[in-house]
Amino acid sequence: MADATTAQAYNALVRSRVAAQASYRASFAIELGSQVLLVLIEFVEVYVVFHQVDALGGFDFAEVAVMYGLSAVGFGLADMVVGHVDRLPFYVRTGTFDAFLLRPLSALGQLVTSDFSLRRLGRIGSGVVVLVIALAGADVDWTPARALLVVVTPLAGGVIFGAVFVATCTIGFHVVEGMEFANAFTYGGNYLSSFPFNIFGTFIRRFFTFVVPAAFVAYLPTLALLGRSDPAGLPGWLSWSAVPAALIAAAAAGWIWRLGLRHYVGAGS
């Protein structure tokens, strides 16, 4: 019974966010269009790279485009559902977060449903288009397992980036003006996960594989799709491990969130 009421409450919250966005139609259309173009403009970078060379780190245009597409869809999903948690410092400063704590819903749940950025559908849509075209051009020996991997990977990527968003937004519990730190791991993770990991130095590679698991979003699954091994020497089973990595990341983010919440003492307003 309590669960049904909670679901209703979240349902009402999300509906109100969607209705709010639908009321400024012209602005929403421009924002949606901007999100579509965002992915395409970023993709121009990959295009420019392959205008200069035939391979980057031993991967050709289509193969890097697969990584780009997987990363764009995964990041777009996370950004739509939880990307706005980086507004936490604003809620802390204005006292809104104290109101969250008084209501009979989880604080994280309310923070996540405080917005639902439908405009990000534009980013997800153009990411899917890039991914499909890239997969058609890449040399993939299709098996049922690989087909399943292609479908599951963007979802796992969404969970991984979502976990990074939640874990890093807790910076807002500790400092007032330092939220930008989070961008190095969220947007930085997205930037780097669109490229083959073997072009990066050892420290960056390991950090973005084992601490911030961005390698599991696109690079490692692409290796599994292509049937290739990691030039930097990671074992082959890791290439199939996006889902367990996502689950571990989500659990870790939940733990970091509770740790931050325990530290929170209010803005003193």
Partner 1 sequence: MSVIAVGPAVALAGAGYRRWATYRQAALAGVFVNTVFGVIKLSILLGIADSAGGTVAGYDAASLSTYAWVSQGLIAVVMIFAWTELADRVRTGDIAVDLARPVDLQLSWLAQDIGRAAWALLSRAVVPIVFGAIFFGFYWPTDPTAIILLPVSILLAVCVSFAGRFMVNLTAFWLTEIRGLVLLYVLVAGLLGGHLVPVQLFPDWLQAAAYATPFPAMVQFPINLMTGQATGLRALGEVAVQVAWAVGLLLLGRLVLSRATRKLVVQGG
* Positions in the binding site for partner 1 (CB under 8 A): 24, 26-35, 37-38, 41-42, 44-45, 48-49, 51-57, 119, 175-181, 183-184, 188, 191-192, 195-196, 199-201, 204
Nearer to partner 1 by C-beta: 101 or 204?
204
Nearer to partner 1 by C-beta: 42 or 63?
42
Question: Do 117 and 84 meet the contact criterion of CB atoms below 8 Å apart?
Answer: yes
Residue 134's CB: how many other CB atoms inside 10 A? 23
Question: Do 54 and 90 meet the contact criterion of CB atoms below 8 Å apart?
Answer: no
Q: Minimum distance between the CB of residue 240 and partner 1, rounded to whole angstroms? A: 25
Q: Minimum distance between the CB of residue 57 and partner 1, rounded to whole angstroms? A: 5
Q: Minimum distance between the CB of residue 161 and partner 1, rounded to whole angstroms? A: 16
Question: Do 72 and 39 meet the contact criterion of CB atoms below 8 Å apart?
Answer: yes
Nearer to partner 1 by C-beta: 39 or 149?
39
Q: Minimum distance between the CB of residue 179 and partner 1, rounded to whole angstroms? A: 7
Question: Do 216 and 246 meet the contact criterion of CB atoms below 8 Å apart?
Answer: yes
Amino acid identity at 54:
D
Nearer to partner 1 by C-beta: 10 or 28?
28
Nearer to partner 1 by C-beta: 88 or 107?
88
Nearer to partner 1 by C-beta: 7 or 37?
37
Q: Minimum distance between the CB of residue 172 and partner 1, rounded to whole angstroms? A: 12
Q: Minimum distance between the CB of residue 200 and partner 1, rounded to whole angstroms? A: 5
Q: Minimum distance between the CB of residue 207 and partner 1, rounded to whole angstroms? A: 10
SS3 sequence of the chain: CHHHHHHHHHHHHHHHHHHHHHCCHHHHHHHHHHHHHHHHHHHHHHHHHHHHCCCECCECHHHHHHHHHHHHHHHHHHHHHHHHHHHHHHHHHHCHHHHHHHCCCCHHHHHHCCCCCHHHHHHHHHHHHHHHHHHHHCCCCCCHHHHHHHHHHHHHHHHHHHHHHHHHHCHHHHCCCCCCHHHHHHHHHHHHHCCCHHHCCHHHHHHHHHHCCHHHCCHHHHHHHHCCCCCCCCCHHHHHCHHHHHHHHHHHHHHHHHHHHHHCCCCCC
Nearer to partner 1 by C-beta: 104 or 201?
201
